[in-house]
């Protein structure tokens, strides 16, 4: 299994404990991040990765992907749909066999999880 996460998740860090060759694992991680960056909260003009809504991504040896994500607020109107958008985006990455997205609310999201890119886009300084 390989995992990449960060507090907050701002760049891809890979922990190599995988049977997947390192170059393939790096490509998968890069492509998964790119796929995550195609998903937007409809109320915020920044992708969910840069917003810091992705807490953890595990790439298993069978190339299945497990994702822990959150929302900016538990009452988000797209709470039921956003995990499906994430699943579909990551499932489109060549080499990914299966995607499991879990919604988590601990720790709660806060603006400190946003990347500098998100802060600039939202004029949030």
Name residues whose C-beta falls within 8 Å of residue 106's C-beta, 6 or more positions apart in sequence.
none
For the segment 12-32, the average pLDDT, to the nearest whole number, is: 81
pTM strictly above 0.75: yes
24-54 pLDDT, tens per residue?
999 999 999 999 999 998 888 899 999 999 9
Consecutive H or E run containing 56: strand 54-59
pLDDT at 62 over 60: yes
Contact 24, 59 (CB under 8 A): no
Position of tokens 């603006």?
A: 111
| pLDDT tens sequence across 67-118 | 999 998 878 888 889 999 999 999 999 999 999 999 999 999 999 999 999 9
Bridge partner residues of 54 (DSSP)? 69
């Amino acid at each position: 299994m390989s995992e990449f996460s960060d507090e907050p998740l701002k760049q891809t860090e890979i922990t190599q404990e995988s049977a997947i060759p390192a170059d393939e694992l790096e490509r998968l991680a890069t492509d998964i991040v790119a796929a995550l960056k195609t998903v937007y909260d409809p109320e915020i003009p920044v992708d969910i990765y840069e917003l810091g809504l992705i807490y953890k991504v595990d790439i298993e040896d069978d190339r299945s992907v497990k994702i822990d994500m959150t929302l900016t607020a538990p009452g988000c109107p797209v709470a039921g749909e956003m995990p499906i958008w994430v699943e579909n985006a990551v499932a489109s990455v060549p080499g990914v066999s299966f995607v499991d997205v879990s919604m988590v609310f601990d720790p709660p999201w806060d603006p400190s999880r946003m990347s500098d890119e998100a802060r600039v886009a939202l004029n949030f300084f």
